[in-house]
């Protein structure tokens, strides 16, 4: 028993989860008994004896996992145990199920966990499409259908796209800026372990009375405030996913601002670093809004507050204002890191410096600023004060300008290049440019109030969001994973399978989402379990292509799993890239660098004779750096 208690790990975490849940449950029962209330309040939105354990059980898991061990000792005045780094790195697959402060391990943990949720979200989407293959009700009843598309979106947004970018950046970014780790490694590990908590809460909602949360991922009040118990699980899950995002964003900000290698000025940072800097600026300021608004819904449900209940003086529309004040920036949180990845991939695989590097970085900052000023374009038909529509329309359309700058600069980067078309990462990047432009164009149309009045809440919106989030974000995620796979694993994936994955994904994606524009304009509303028979043919086509799209992902999973185990050795720098992560071994050494490299030039100096981005320890010209001892031994301890 005492051994169990002293050794943080999965067993102690499960034990902690049980203890935490029991404490929460006991607290509710005791307090209600003392107050003379009915012990189990099972009115539709109530269930305090489920909601409170929904908070305490995940916290118990995190404590058991060891996420707080160091801080608890420190806060309690006990001598802290200096990190002996025995946990750094991962020797076997089991090490990925432990609390680990190594940013490379955390990066892999993030990517694998989020892909697990990607598959779950994808299966929910398949079920949705299967039901929609024909008009009428065949497979699931309308209530369950609402739960399916709500969980599909919640998984894809909160547990796949947002965190997978954090995972890729976690792995790559410290290497890229010449840092030995993230600024706050323990916080980093805690951020990761909060994610599975959110996922388990979302999944658990399927098994509670009333079924999974079914008010859409937007959870508009008052539908959400009156929905069955599952909605509370959504409210809580978002808290964990949100806290994870915020902590990671803080970590990235501090890491990027304070831990760049000597010589890496802001104007020498790779664009992936710029992209994550901008994304983090969005996350730290915007994500608290969704955390807050979901708490308000939870309070309305469980404590009978009156934030959104019009009958008792609440304001129904304020939910949407607060929600979109996060959720519009969230669109860019899901896109800007992808922009960064595309810049890295295009310049490396086209052997060209990024065209207009500084304007590219400024465009990112421009998007950050503008994205705070457009939230109400989701509410043009909501009945909000009408004067806000035109200003929000203008700012919305203006966002097309910095986005256009990025597209044009990427195209110009390809000009006069040596374009390696056989590379899967390159194919996904080129595919991204095409599909993202389509999504951007439909976005501009939706930004115009008169068109939005017709298109809002139809399949046109569904088409648009999937063109930007699948054709946009997911394509960039694949581009990034193929690009850095050799670095992360030290092995090379099968390019032929990669290309097959790309082409099937592209065809499946276009076949699925292009016809949605048409049926949307013609009059098919979104979020319906059944539809008018005039849309039957196109829906069948969409369903068939969506299954092609789903099946194509099997190729990816197979390729990754097999190549990770048996793929040929990749070498340190298979793409002959210039940025620092490629100047270390593949996979990188446990502490990244023996000595911090010195940055002497821009990151994309392809074709410039003699130009270098960074000089590694031991190379000529490195010794100019200050004679600081290797920081590896002290970093984790000193930066807590």
Partner 1 sequence: MTRATYMKLIGLMLILTVVQSVIMLIPDWNGTQASAEADEIDLLLDVMIVLSSFVFAIVIVMLGYCVYKYRAKPGDESDGKPIHGNTRLEIAWTLIPTVIVLFAAAYSWVILDDIEAEAASEDQMPVNVTAQQYKWTFEYPETGVVSDVFHVPVDKQLELSLTALEVLHSFWVPEWRIKRDLVPIADGNPTDVDNVVRVTPNLEGEYTLICTELCGWGHSTMQAKVVVESQEDFDAWMQEQEAEMTETSGSEVADEAVPGEQEDE
Residues 175-214 that bind partner 1 (CB under 8 A): 214
Q: Rounded CA gap, 517 and 69, in Å?
A: 52
Q: Rounded CA gap, 226 and 301, in Å?
A: 7
Site mask for partner 1 (CB under 8 A), range 476-515, x = bound? ----------------------------------------
Taking the complex as a whole, how short is the minimal distance between the CB of residue 371 and partner 1, in angstroms?
Answer: 15
Site mask for partner 1 (CB under 8 A), range 567-596, x = bound? ---------x--------------------
Residue partners of 87: CB distance under 8 A and separation at least 6:
95, 98, 99, 100, 101, 102
The H or E element that residue 615 is part of is strand 614-615
Q: Which residue in the set 9, 216, 292, 637 belongs to the binding site for partner 1 (CB under 8 A)?
A: 216
Q: Rounded CA gap, 519 and 170, in Å?
A: 40
Cβ–Cβ under 8 Å, residues 252 and 277: yes
Rule CB under 8 A: is residue 409 a binding residue for partner 1?
yes
Q: Rounded CA gap, 184 and 387, in Å?
A: 45
Rule CB under 8 A: is residue 355 a binding residue for partner 1?
yes
Describe the crossing of helices 271-302 and 48-65 by its angle, rounded to 10 degrees.
140
Rule CB under 8 A: is residue 288 a binding residue for partner 1?
no
Rule CB under 8 A: is residue 123 a binding residue for partner 1?
no
Q: Rounded CA gap, 125 and 550, in Å?
A: 9
Per rule CB under 8 A, count of chain residues that contact partner 1? 90
Q: Which is nearer to partner 1, 318 or 631 (CB)?
A: 318
Taking the complex as a whole, how short is the minimal distance between the CB of residue 234 and partner 1, in angstroms?
Answer: 14
Task: Using the rule CB under 8 A, give the single segment among 67-75, 323-331, 442-450, 556-564 that binds partner 1.
Answer: 442-450
Rule CB under 8 A: is residue 522 a binding residue for partner 1?
yes
Q: Which residue in the set 397, 492, 625, 630 belongs to the binding site for partner 1 (CB under 8 A)?
A: 397
Residue partners of 587: CB distance under 8 A and separation at least 6:
104, 487, 488, 489, 490
Rule CB under 8 A: is residue 438 a binding residue for partner 1?
yes
Q: Which is nearer to partner 1, 80 or 318 (CB)?
A: 318
Rule CB under 8 A: is residue 350 a binding residue for partner 1?
yes
Q: What's the DSSP call for residue 589?
A: P
- Find tokens 């919640």 and name the residue: 154
Q: What's the DSSP call for residue 598?
A: E
Taking the complex as a whole, how short is the minimal distance between the CB of residue 9 and partner 1, in angstroms?
Answer: 42
Rule CB under 8 A: is residue 533 a binding residue for partner 1?
no
Rule CB under 8 A: is residue 531 a binding residue for partner 1?
yes
Q: Rounded CA gap, 95 and 250, in Å?
A: 26
Rule CB under 8 A: is residue 475 a binding residue for partner 1?
no
Token representation of residue 251:
């970590």
Residue among 435, 503, 515 at smallest CA distance from 469: 435
Q: Which is nearer to partner 1, 341 or 524 (CB)?
A: 524
Q: Which residue in the set 38, 416, 537, 619 belongs to the binding site for partner 1 (CB under 8 A)?
A: 416
Task: Using the rule CB under 8 A, give the single segment among 30-38, 41-49, 234-242, 521-529 that binds partner 1.
Answer: 521-529
Taking the complex as a whole, how short is the minimal distance between the CB of residue 422 and partner 1, in angstroms?
Answer: 8
Of residues 26 through 65, those in contact with partner 1 by CB under 8 A are none
Rule CB under 8 A: is residue 519 a binding residue for partner 1?
no
Task: Using the rule CB under 8 A, give the single segment among 75-83, 414-422, 483-491, 585-593 that binds partner 1.
Answer: 414-422
Residue 604 pairs with which residues in a beta bridge? none
Residue among 595, 571, 528, 628 at smallest CA distance from 135: 528
Token representation of residue 547:
């299954």
Q: Is 91 helix (H, G, I), strand (E, B) or coil?
A: coil
Rule CB under 8 A: is residue 226 a binding residue for partner 1?
yes
Token representation of residue 150:
């709500």
Q: What's the DSSP call for residue 525?
A: B
Q: Rounded CA gap, 295 and 456, in Å?
A: 27
Rule CB under 8 A: is residue 148 a binding residue for partner 1?
no
Rule CB under 8 A: is residue 266 a binding residue for partner 1?
no
Of residues 306 through 335, those in contact with partner 1 by CB under 8 A are 310-311, 313, 315-318
């Amino acid at each position: 028993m005492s051994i169990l208690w002293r050794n943080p790990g999965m067993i102690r975490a499960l034990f902690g989860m049980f203890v935490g849940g029991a404490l929460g449950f006991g607290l509710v029962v005791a307090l209600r008994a003392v107050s003379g209330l009915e012990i189990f309040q099972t009115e539709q939105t109530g269930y305090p004896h489920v909601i409170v354990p929904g908070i305490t059980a995940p916290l118990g898991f995190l404590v058991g996992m060891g996420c707080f061990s160091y801080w608890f000792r420190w806060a309690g005045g006990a001598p802290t145990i200096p990190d002996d780094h025995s946990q750094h790195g991962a020797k076997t697959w089991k090490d990925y199920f432990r609390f680990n402060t190594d940013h490379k391990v955390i990066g892999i943990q993030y990517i694998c966990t989020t892909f697990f949720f990607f598959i779950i979200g994808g299966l929910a989407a398949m079920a949705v499409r299967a039901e929609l293959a024909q008009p009428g009700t065949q497979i699931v009843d309308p209530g369950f259908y609402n739960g399916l598309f709500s969980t599909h979106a919640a998984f894809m947004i909160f547990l796949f796209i947002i965190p997978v970018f954090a995972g890729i950046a976690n792995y790559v970014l410290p290497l890229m800026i010449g840092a030995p780790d993230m600024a706050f490694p323990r916080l980093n590990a805690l951020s990761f372990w909060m994610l599975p908590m959110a996922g388990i809460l979302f999944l658990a909602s399927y098994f509670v009375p009333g079924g999974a949360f079914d008010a859409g991922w937007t959870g508009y009040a008052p539908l959400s405030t009156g929905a069955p118990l599952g909605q509370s699980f959504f409210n809580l899950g978002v808290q964990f996913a949100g806290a994870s995002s915020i902590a990671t964003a803080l970590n990235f900000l501090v890491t990027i601002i304070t831990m760049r290698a000597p010589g890496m000025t802001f104007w020498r940072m790779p664009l992936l670093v710029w992209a994550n800097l901008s994304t983090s600026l969005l996350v730290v300021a915007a994500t608290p809004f969704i955390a807050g608004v979901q708490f308000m819904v939870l309070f309305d449900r469980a404590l009978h507050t009156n934030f959104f209940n019009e009958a008792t003086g609440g304001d129904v529309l304020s939910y949407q204002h607060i929600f979109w004040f996060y959720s519009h920036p969230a669109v860019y949180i899901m896109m800007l890191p992808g922009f960064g990845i595309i810049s890295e991939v295009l310049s490396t695989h086209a052997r060209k410096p990024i065209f207009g590097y500084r304007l590219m970085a400024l465009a990112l900052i421009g998007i950050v600023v503008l994205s705070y000023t457009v939230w109400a374009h989701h509410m043009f038909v909501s009945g909000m004060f009408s004067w806000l529509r035109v200003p929000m329309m203008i700012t919305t359309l203006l966002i097309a300008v910095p986005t256009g700058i990025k597209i044009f600069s990427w195209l110009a980067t390809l000009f006069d290049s040596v374009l390696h078309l056989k590379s899967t990462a390159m194919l996904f990047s080129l595919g991204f440019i095409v599909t993202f432009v389509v999504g951007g164009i439909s976005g501009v149309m939706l930004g115009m109030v008169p068109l939005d009045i017709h298109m809002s809440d139809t399949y046109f919106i569904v088409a648009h969001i999937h063109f930007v989030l699948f054709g946009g974000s997911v394509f960039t995620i694949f581009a990034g994973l193929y690009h850095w796979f050799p670095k992360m694993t030290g092995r090379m994936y099968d390019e032929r399978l990669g290309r097959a994955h790309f082409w099937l994904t592209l065809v499946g994606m276009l076949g699925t989402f292009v016809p949605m524009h048409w049926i949307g304009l013609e009059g098919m509303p979104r979020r319906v379990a059944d539809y008018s028979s005039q849309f039957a043919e196109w829906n069948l086509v969409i369903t068939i292509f969506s299954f092609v799209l789903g099946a194509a992902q099997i190729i990816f999973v197979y390729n990754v799993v097999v190549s990770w185990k048996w793929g040929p050795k990749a070498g340190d720098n298979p793409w002959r890239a210039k940025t620092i992560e490629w100047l270390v071994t593949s996979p990188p050494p446990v502490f990244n660098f023996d000595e911090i490299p010195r940055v002497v030039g821009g990151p994309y100096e392809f074709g410039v004779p003699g130009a270098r981005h960074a000089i590694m320890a031991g190379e000529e010209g490195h010794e100019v750096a200050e004679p600081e001892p290797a920081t590896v031994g002290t970093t984790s301890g000193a930066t807590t």
